[in-house]
Structure 1
Amino acid sequence: MATRNNPERTPERLMEEIRGTRLPIGCIAVWFFGQESMVIKGKETVIHIDPFYSNYLEVRGVKRVYPPLLKPESITVADLCLVTHEHEDHLDPWTLKVIAKQCPKARFMAPLSCRPELETSCEMKPEQIIDALTGEWLELDGNNGEQIRVKPIPAAHESIETTGNERAHRYVGYLLDINGVKVYHAGDTIVYPGLPELLAEEGIDLGMLPINGRDYFRTSRGIVGNMNIREAAELAKISHMDMVVPLHYDLFAGNSEKPGNFVQELYERYPEQKCHVMARGERFVYASPWSFLTE
């Protein structure tokens, strides 16, 4: 039974929570919806990252471990959607098509190779789409005058690939600068040469990293891999992330990992590294180390 301390987590209730959350400078709110689907809110701006809110893959016999916590038709607040690559659990056409229709002011950033599908399957207008060209910060107008910055960076899933343009990577992660907080959403990637140094230079407050790893048997079934728990822990530490959140471990039985193993890895090797394992549909408020400080 729903109570004040344990409200029913319906899609409508979650959207009310996202819409109504207000935060001071130096803080962001983050919601987790499985795999790598995240919602981030700064002061006013709502950003969906890899929104996978449908049962799209079930038509191909791929079943989720648990049903979507949000439904595409429930999405009424979206200022920006970031898509990391074209795999259906990241670029979900059933979800993106509905968001584009219900949130006409929303803009969608994705690798250049995703543009044809966004324009056709998702029925987006060309001007709604921003190509995620890597290596440069892009300043965007958020909601109600809030300024945000986005910087796509290459991801290696499991290799780095470009599509004709050296900045047009097939797989990307995103750096976000929003409400005084620097965020890194890795997308699907392994650790590649230069990535730790690139992230260390940026000064990441909150890092979100896949932990499901890769192995011969999954590769033989066509499942493309990511960094494992040891690599994710090491990356968080050596790139000086203030806090790390594990992703990509819970939605498909054949490609999962135990987030407790990631926590244990950090505890044994880097006990000073802050981390947070998010419950399904949880709102987590991250406060940067300098927030709430008085002079």
Structure 2
Amino acid sequence: MLARWLGQAGFVLTAGVAQLAVDPYLSDSLAEKYAGRLFPHTRMRPAPLAPRQLPPLVAVVCTHAHTDHMDPATLTPLMADQPRLRLVCPRAVIGEALRRSGADASRLDPLRAGEQTGYGPFAISAVPSAHEERELDEHGDDRFLGYVIDAAGTRVYHSGDCAPWDGLAEWLGSMAVDVALLPVNGRDAHRRDNGVPGNFTFEEAVRLCAAAGIGTLVPHHWGMFAFNSADPAGFDFGLAGRLGVTVQLPVHGATIILRGRR
């Protein structure tokens, strides 16, 4: 499987001739929304392409309803340009997905934790996420999900925004994940108290991979917004090596090969 990093948590995954996008944020909508505020969401680098330059996709997958993961300025033109495109989202945020995508409800495939769907070569299973806590709606459905995406002999876990929660390593360990795409910008009280919940630290991401038997970590959610980033120079690659975890550091706009064990 191939993975092109779009920045933040966004990736385009390729299996054969089929392509699928996860959490694409390809606009400046957050910079416009938060101009002059405590945390101006100014991009540290431009989007590698415009929404209408994305390749034909079998599906676009959103992990939750925060704008850098479910961006109306990305989804609306994308769904309009690709009229057969399906949108996957947590069932708990289906209303937001409808509003932000401009798509008819018949094109949405909402999932609960533990449910599966598939598109071409991609099989997708939903996993709960905690950003920084698990949040459930009135029906008991998770507002934050990750997805295990299986294709071309490789099983990839994209957590969306997530911090450690009890049971996650066991859940992933039972699914024989090969590669984890994890956010590593960390978290702190200042950001949380001002409306910006956080994610794994690099060390926590490495330790989750080791505990779940995941051989490769791709750290993301850094290099987009200065107030909510992490410096790869500070990543403890030595710890990863000692715990048997290979780290593939993505390059903005570039493609890496994700290798499975099957």
User: Normalising to structure 2: TM-score of the pair?
Assistant: 0.93
Residues 190-205 of structure 1 aligned to structure 2 (within 5 Å): 190-205=163-178
Cα shift readout 1:249-291 (whole Å, capped 9, x = no counterpart): 1100001111233343534642x3211001111111223234x
The more displaced of 106-115 and 123-132 is 106-115
Query: Are 1:175 and 2:154 matched, yes or no?
Result: no
| CA shift for structure 1 position 174 | 0.4
Distance 1:275 1:268, change over 3 A: closer
Q: Give the alignment partner of residue 75 of structure 2, picking from 96, 104, 121.
A: 96
The TM-score normalised by the length of structure 1 is: 0.83
Q: Say what the alpha-carbon RMSD is for the aligned residues.
A: 1.5
Give the whole-Å Cα distance in 1 for the aligned partners of 2:259 and 2:168: 25
Change (3 A) 1:235 1:183: same
Check conservation: 2:75, 2:100, Cα contact below 8 A: no
- 1:205-224 to structure 2, matched below 5 A, reads 205-224=178-197
* 1:151-188 C-alpha deviation (Å, 9 max, x unpaired): 1111000111111223x210000011112211100111
Distance 1:284 1:249 in 2: 17
Residue 126 of structure 2: aligned partner: 152
The answer (yes or no) to whether the contact 1:64–1:251 under 8 Å persists in 2 is yes
Cα distance, 1:76 vs. partner? 3.9
Matches within 5 A, 1:110-121: 110-121=89-100
Number of residue-to-residue matches in the alignment: 256
Gap runs ≥5 in structure 2: 36-40
1:62-77 superposed matches below 5 A: 62-77=41-56
2:119 corresponds, among 108, 132, 141, to 141
Name 1:4's counterpart in structure 2.
none
Residue equivalent to 2:38:
none
Superposition deviation, residue 35 in structure 1: 0.7
Q: Distance in 1 between matches of 2:230 and 2:54?
A: 29
2:207 to 204, 212, 234: 234
Structure 1: how far apart are the matches of 2:9 and 2:22?
7
Quick one: structure 1 residues 163 and 32, their matched pair in 2 at CA, closer, same or farther if it must change by over 3 Å?
Answer: same
Aligned amino acid, residue 107 of structure 1: R
The residue number in structure 2 matching 1:254 is 227
> Structure 1 CA distance, aligned partners of 2:2 and 2:107?
25
- Per-residue CA deviation, residues 178-229 of structure 1 (Å, 9 max, x unaligned), is 1221110011111100000111111111111111111122222221111112
Which has the larger Rg?
1
CA contact (8 A) 2:4 2:13 kept: yes
Map 1:3-14 onto structure 2 (within 5 A). Answer: none
CA distance in 1 between partners of 2:205 and 2:47 (Å)? 26
Asked if 1:289 is matched to 2:261, the reply is yes
The amino acid across from 2:175 in the alignment is: E
Report percent identity of matched pairs: 28
Q: Quote the Cα distance in structure 2 between the aligned partners of 1:268 and 1:275.
A: 8
What residue identity is the alignment partner of 2:147? Answer: Y
Which residue type is aligned with residue 6 of structure 2? F
1:43 maps to a residue whose letter is G
> Does the CA-based 8 Å contact 1:249-1:256 persist in structure 2?
yes
Aligned residue number for residue 107 of structure 1: 86
In the alignment, what sits opposite 2:251?
Answer: 279
> Which residue of 1 is the match for residue 159 of structure 2?
186
**CA deviation vs aligned residue, 1:11-62 (integer Å, no higher than 9, x gap):** xxxxxxxxxxxxxxxxx01000111001101122211000101111121222
Residues 215/265 of structure 1: CA separation in 2 closer, same or farther (3 Å cut): farther
What is the identity, as a one-letter code, of the residue corresponding to 1:264? F
**For residues 114 and 19 of structure 2, what CA distance do their matches in structure 1 show?**
23
Instruction: Show structure 1 runs of 5+ residues with no match.
Output: 1-27, 291-295
